[in-house]
Amino acid sequence: MISLKSSREIELMRRAGRITAQARTLAGKLVRPGVTTLEIDTQVRKFIEGQGAVPSFLNYNGYPGSACISVNEIVIHGIPDHRVLKEGDIVSVDVGAFIDGVHGDCAATFPCGQVSEEAMALIQVTEQSFWEGIKLARAGNRVYDISHAVQQYVEAHGCSVVRDFVGHGVGHKLHEAPEVPNFGPAGHGPRLQPGMTLAVEPMVCAGDWHVRVLKDGWTTVTADGSLAAHYENTILITEGVPEILTVTGE
């Protein structure tokens, strides 16, 4: 069952989304050589809590952090720890905030100091693939129209999309129907309707798309050790262009 949000619920999701986006921006500003991923996580948690919200990921299925901080070949679900960021790293930060019964969910990959041209290109392809995908995210189209557009753009730029993890509906629960893959045939999947709220989140590898999960049960790395990047926003489907709910409002 795909829920359609009421105007009241949408108003609440705008607020959750704003806090989430602000937490992402804060995290991005903290990415620099010498900082630990745990320090970033702590700042994110304090910010979200200071806004009267709860970090969506903290204790979710036992996840120990407020953010997922995924460095270099770590694609997603990197657990914040005492790892010290160094010049040239690329750092994906995924955050969620829950307030008044609804979640926001967003992510971005940030360069740590000066990074390689290949790394910067990967970051840009990943973010642009999101925007290419949501060009198709309007009422009357189907979920896989988004998926297909993301995949086409990523592969046209020599990168690959992760198959084992997908975007999702988001609202009262962090993960709701429908699944929003970053691959697949256009014209398939549920029809998009105004009031659907989706987390569209391309996870992109510079090399092959196969990933594996480390023994901690979370940390997901590229199987070939190539770099990976992530970009995500929570969006609202409308009759026209979708509304991005994870915006800072600045």
Question: Which residue among 18, 31, 41, 57 contacts ligand MF3 (CB under 6 A)?
Answer: 57
Question: Of 18-26, 30-38, 57-65, 139-147, which part binds ligand MF3 (CB under 6 A)?
Answer: 57-65
CB 62, min distance to ligand MF3, A: 9
Please report how close the Cβ of residue 105 comes to Co ion at its closest, in angstroms: 4
Q: Is the dihedral of CA 41, 90, 17, 173 positive or negative?
A: negative
Burial classification of residue 39, based on how many CB atoms lie within 10 Å of its CB (0-12 exposed, 13-18 middle, 19 or more buried): middle
**What one-character DSSP code corresponds to residue 83?**
P
Q: Which does residue 63 bind out of Co ion, ligand MF3, none, counting CB within 5 to 8 angstroms by kind?
A: ligand MF3
| Core vs surface per residue 108-122: b (16+ CB within 10 A) or e | bbbbbeebeeebebb
> Which partner from the list ligand MF3, Co ion, none does 57 bind, CB cut-off 5 to 8 Å by kind?
ligand MF3
Q: Is 89 or 176 the residue whose CB approaches ligand MF3 more closely?
A: 176
60, interface contact from Co ion, ligand MF3, none, CB < 5-8 Å by kind: ligand MF3
x/- letters, 194..233, toward ligand MF3 (CB under 6 A): -----x--------------------------------x-
Residue the block writes with tokens 């990933």 = 211
Say whether 232 sits in a helix, a strand or coil. strand
Tokens of 231: 């970009």
CA 24 to chain centre: 10
Which positions lie near Co ion, rule CB under 5 A? 105, 199
